[in-house]
Amino acid sequence: MSETKLSVWQAMQAKGYSRREFLRFCSFAAAAAGIHASGVTSVVHALEKKPRPPVVWLHFQECTCCSESFIRSSHPIVSDVIFDYLSLDYTETLQAAAGAQAEQCMHDTMKNYPGEYILLVEGSVPTNDGGIHCTIAGRTAEDILQEAAKDAAAVIAWGSCASNGCIQAANPNPTGATPIHEIISKPVIKVPGCPPIGDVMTAVVTHILVYGRMPELDGQGRPKEFYGRRVHDTCYRRPYYDAGLFVEAWDDEKARKGYCLYKMGCRGPVTYNACSVTRWNEGTSYPIQSGHGCIGCSENGFWDNGPFYQHLASFPGFGIETTADTVGTVVGLAATAGVAAHAISTNIRKKHLIDQQIEEANGDEKNAEGGKA
């Protein structure tokens, strides 16, 4: 716990790192955050001078996959981030302290560094039944979040749970799981994904640390650097899409050839994430590279947009795998049938109508004659 508030450089010096190692670390951090080579000096500058920001990492309704992803960041190596870069004062998963000590750490940070600490939130907040579905030390998640967010310098929503509710908020959402931006009144940086890419997580933190402000966000509050493009736009299988070469079944020749997975329900075209650029596990692979379509885990309500293996969501009220197309076809056929029936009925009445009109015509003629006479 950082009571003296060392800068990253000071902390690294204390651990015996050389200047060269520090500069190499800065270059890694800059690259991971998408900062241009000419910006490396500002990274060096920031990490030399600025005190390491204290961090409070809260866990609510989540599965800890965000933390798991975070500790697998490849550059900057996570131990560096956690121990040299940030001053991780409170996180249930990784801290050594427990019980009253842990609570003490959190409260000390909030009390000693108001307006300075970064609040990272993993998990959604239940709002039904007075919030009893998630409590820590006898307090509800909402209560803890409100208190922690009050004096935070920046709030980051880790993962889809905190950003859009994820699986807890999927229909019928029994706990009233709510993303954090709907609970607190501060701007929230959303880093959605189930989990988000570890390198993206560290890069977002790096950005805040280096520039002292939030990264540029898109219309949905996500950093543009990493969520500005669709998985589809940077996918290495994209040429197959434009060429109209699609996998038709999981075990066909086209799957073997690595064609586009669009017809297998791949959500790449509607999902904003950096998977196809950054990739996962030290740039090893990402779902589409492994032969499975994207399930759109960083998009709002992706659990309710199923099934994952078809492109249109099930149409509500018509049972599983009934899509808008099925319903539309039925309605279209019904309209055609109705029109056909109407035409038949009209033509059955045709004779009657024409007779009637002839009668009218004759009547008119008579009237006309009558007029003459």
Partner 1 sequence: MATTQAVHYRRVYVWQLPVRLYHWLNALCVAVLIVTGYLIGNPLAISYSSEAYQQYWFGTVRFAHFVTAFIFFFNFLVRTYWGFVGNEHSRWTNFIPLRKKQFDEIGNVLKVDILQAKAGDISSTGHNALAGFTYFLTCLAFAFQSCTGFALYSSMSESFLPRMFAWVVPLMGGDFAVRQWHHIAMWFFIVFTIVHVYLVFYHDYVEGRGTTSSMVGGWKFEREDEHK
Asked whether position 25 contacts partner 1 by CB under 8 A, the answer is no
Write the Ramachandran bin of 359: left for phi over 0, alpha for psi from -120 to 50, otherwise beta.
alpha
Do you find a cis peptide bond into 195, omega within 30 degrees of 0? yes
Query: Which tokens go with 118?
Result: 């970064």
CB of 212 to partner 1, least distance (A): 27
Alpha-carbon distances of 373 from 176, 195, 318, 369, rounded to whole Å? 87, 95, 70, 6
Q: Which CB sits closer to partner 1, 132 or 354?
A: 354
Do you find a cis peptide bond into 53, omega within 30 degrees of 0? no
Region from 8-16, 20-28, 257-265, 274-282 binding partner 1, contact rule CB under 8 A = 257-265
CB of 222 to partner 1, least distance (A): 10
Q: Which of 219, 319, 370, 371 binds partner 1 (CB under 8 A)?
A: 219
Q: Which CB sits closer to partner 1, 104 or 345?
A: 345
Environment class of 319 (CB within 10 Å of its CB; exposed 0-12, middle 13-18, buried 19+): exposed
Q: Where do we find the tokens 């990493």?
A: 226
Q: Which of 114, 130, 174, 239 binds partner 1 (CB under 8 A)?
A: 239
Asked whether position 217 contacts partner 1 by CB under 8 A, the answer is no
Q: Which of 138, 244, 317, 371 binds partner 1 (CB under 8 A)?
A: 244
Asked whether position 276 contacts partner 1 by CB under 8 A, the answer is no
Among 151, 105, 160, 142, smallest CA distance to 271 is for 160
Q: Which CB sits closer to partner 1, 263 or 292?
A: 263
Among 112, 173, 109, smallest CA distance to 301 is for 173
Asked whether position 69 contacts partner 1 by CB under 8 A, the answer is no
Environment class of 266 (CB within 10 Å of its CB; exposed 0-12, middle 13-18, buried 19+): buried
Q: Which CB sits closer to partner 1, 133 or 222?
A: 222
Asked whether position 371 contacts partner 1 by CB under 8 A, the answer is no
Q: How many residues bind partner 1 (CB under 8 A)?
A: 56
Q: What are phi and psi of 67, to 5 degrees?
A: -65, -40
Q: Which of 129, 216, 233, 282 binds partner 1 (CB under 8 A)?
A: 233
Asked whether position 345 contacts partner 1 by CB under 8 A, the answer is yes
Sequence-separated (6 or more) residues with CB below 8 Å from residue 274:
197, 200, 226, 227, 229
Asked whether position 354 contacts partner 1 by CB under 8 A, the answer is yes
Asked whether position 137 contacts partner 1 by CB under 8 A, the answer is no
Q: What are phi and psi of 178, to 5 degrees?
A: -130, 135
Q: Which of 14, 77, 137, 331 binds partner 1 (CB under 8 A)?
A: 331
CB of 157 to partner 1, least distance (A): 15
- Tell me the Cα Rg of the chain: 30
CB of 240 to partner 1, least distance (A): 5
Alpha-carbon distances of 239 from 165, 262, 283, 339, 340, rounded to whole Å? 34, 12, 21, 43, 44
Interface with partner 1 (CB under 8 A): 219-220, 229-230, 233, 239-246, 248, 257, 262-263, 267, 269-272, 296, 299-302, 305, 311-313, 324-325, 327-328, 331-332, 335-336, 339, 342-343, 345-346, 349, 353-354, 356-358, 360-362, 364-365, 368
